[in-house]
Chains A and B, each alone.
Chain A
């Protein structure tokens, strides 16, 4: 039997894609579908046997689990703060360092550096700052507001988590914004300057509209990453005190691996997280498409 050209093409296509598909199917697709299946069981880590419970886990998570609801609300609060602050600071830094000539690359190197360090390592270092260095500074300088229970008081630990996340994340967005700024034709700014625009006007009416696509990217990158936030909270507060700073990912992690080992129930929560992230992405694609049409 001789192969037609088309069959041969298909075989070659599959041969090229097979290794990637294999690893991908085993370590991503199978767990994803398996997770959906397990989310409808009462499987726990201790007993090998389990039975199907339908959507009971989902109902429990969304109606009867105040910790999970609290975790979602806390994560939302975190996401809103991060989206606004991280992008605003990143744009600000990008604009400022782009205005420098000689010190530009030095500042860029410094601001991006935390992004290279794992948030676990960074988190432990900030823990040292919050629990040891700041009280020490407060004692020596009289800046009493620095001497807070940064880790133990939920209000302040939220700020501490934000500071750590911004420290680790701003540099990444800044690099994106710098790239976008460099794409702005210089004649636009020059003509704005000739028209007598001041710095703010030039930024508001020339720069900002030109980097809108990058802003869209930046907002959705932040949305995506901050809904999944885990390490910043894990290393700094561990979700505590109690569950005051518990985020969605940490709630799932604890449900599955720490206390109750309710794998089935934790899987249901994991699927809910997936649905949230997917919703954001769908919105993102919509928005991006609309912008493209406008442009």
Chain B
């Protein structure tokens, strides 16, 4: 409606334009999928054409070469540890920092918020050194821990803002009922934080799932490679040569996020808009 009454012709032009943009957007994904189902020879005969017969061998190959289940499991493990820690710790801290009014609480909150300015590239060199001396380098759980450290500040910021919308009277009533601080938080408050928890979970999950540089620096053992790192290593080995196997591995690597996206699209788009406006 924003463009007013452009009439039938205007409408067609708009749909046509959007259609072209959509084709452009989907083109690389489509080409990747299409050619991952061709044999090398089939691909040379015509990159744009439909495969003469579906070749699933590339997928079997890619499955093995990137150790798909292991890599997927590692990625999930890292994300699960990171997510559990971020949500638990950030909700606790965000709640209490939001409720307290003292100078100490303000100072702590400020420290968290200010760090959101620090680009990852500025701390990565020293971070690798510290991680090594703490022996968290190289393992999936260690990587999860690092994500907790990197992710809490933004999550605290989100929780801090949201808690303000929960009436204080609730706390007070619970305290009168004889609820301790921790019980009050976990029983009464935490369930009320569900909307912001969902946003936090989605934003952090996407970030950890698609993050590349940190695992590249941290995971020195090939047994703990995440999906992205395995794919990158495969690419490094086969370079610009054996595209059909590479494309199959790319399709496999993006499959989980695409499924996740199509299933939970509504929440994801909402979470993205929320997070961006708050940040």
The answer to whether the Cβ of B110 comes within 8 Å of any Cβ in the partner chain is no
Give 19 A-B pairs besides A17-B93, A107-B22, A129-B31 with Cβ atoms closer than 8 angstroms: A10-B104, A21-B93, A27-B145, A28-B150, A31-B127, A31-B130, A96-B17, A103-B15, A113-B26, A116-B257, A117-B29, A118-B209, A172-B272, A176-B276, A176-B277, A181-B2, A252-B121, A267-B126, A273-B119
A118 touches B212 (CB 8 A): yes
A30 touches B25 (CB 8 A): no
Closest 8 CB pairs of A and B: A27-B149, A16-B96, A31-B123, A31-B126, A118-B210, A23-B149, A34-B126, A20-B89
Which chain A residues in 154-212 approach chain B with CB under 8 Å?
A: 167, 171-172, 175-176, 178-179, 181, 184, 186, 189, 192-193, 197-199, 202-203, 207
Bound form: Cα–Cα A20–B154 in Å: 11
The answer to whether the Cβ of B165 comes within 8 Å of any Cβ in the partner chain is no
Bound form: Cα–Cα A13–B125 in Å: 32
Q: Which of A59-67, A78-86, A120-128 contacts B (4 or more CB under 8 A)?
A: A120-128
Bound form: Cα–Cα A290–B121 in Å: 31
**Which A residues lie within 8 Å of B246 (CB)?**
124, 128
B119 touches A257 (CB 8 A): no
Across chains A and B, the number of contacting residue pairs, with CB separation under 8 Å, is 286
A16-B93, A35-B126 are contacts. A24–B149 as well, Cβ < 8 Å? yes
**Which B residues lie within 8 Å of A108 (CB)?**
269
Task: Select from chain A the residue with minimum beta-carbon distance to B121.
Answer: A249
**Which A residues lie within 8 Å of B95 (CB)?**
16
The answer to whether the Cβ of B190 comes within 8 Å of any Cβ in the partner chain is no
Q: Which of B15, B26, B97, B250 contacts A110 (CB 8 A)?
A: B26
Bound form: Cα–Cα A98–B120 in Å: 35
Q: Which of A21, A133, A249 contacts B48 (CB 8 A)?
A: A133
The answer to whether the Cβ of A150 comes within 8 Å of any Cβ in the partner chain is no
The answer to whether the Cβ of A68 comes within 8 Å of any Cβ in the partner chain is no
Which chain A residues in 1-48 approach chain B with CB under 8 Å?
A: 9-10, 12-13, 15-17, 19-21, 23-32, 34-35, 38
Q: Which of A35, A95, A99 contacts B123 (CB 8 A)?
A: A35
A32 touches B122 (CB 8 A): yes
B117 touches A278 (CB 8 A): yes
Task: Select from chain A the residue with minimum beta-carbon distance to B131.
Answer: A27
| Minimum C-beta distance from A125 to chain B (A) | 4
Main secondary structure of the interface of B (DSSP, over half): helix
Task: Select from chain B the residue with minimum beta-carbon distance to A202.
Answer: B4
A34 touches B92 (CB 8 A): no
A125-B32, A189-B4 are contacts. A267–B125 as well, Cβ < 8 Å? yes
Bound form: Cα–Cα A95–B35 in Å: 34
Q: Which of B53-61, B191-199, B227-235 contacts A (4 or more CB under 8 A)?
A: B227-235
Q: Which of A16, A107, A277 contacts B117 (CB 8 A)?
A: A277
Q: Which of A131, A217, A257 contacts B240 (CB 8 A)?
A: A131
Q: Which of A27, A111, A231, A252 has the most CB of B within 10 A?
A: A27
Bound form: Cα–Cα A231–B6 in Å: 41
B153 touches A24 (CB 8 A): yes
Q: Which of B18, B126, B250, B269 contacts A30 (CB 8 A)?
A: B126
Q: What are 11 inter-chain pairs, A to B, with CB distance below 8 A? A: A16-B92, A24-B112, A97-B18, A107-B22, A111-B25, A112-B272, A113-B261, A125-B32, A136-B47, A167-B25, A179-B273
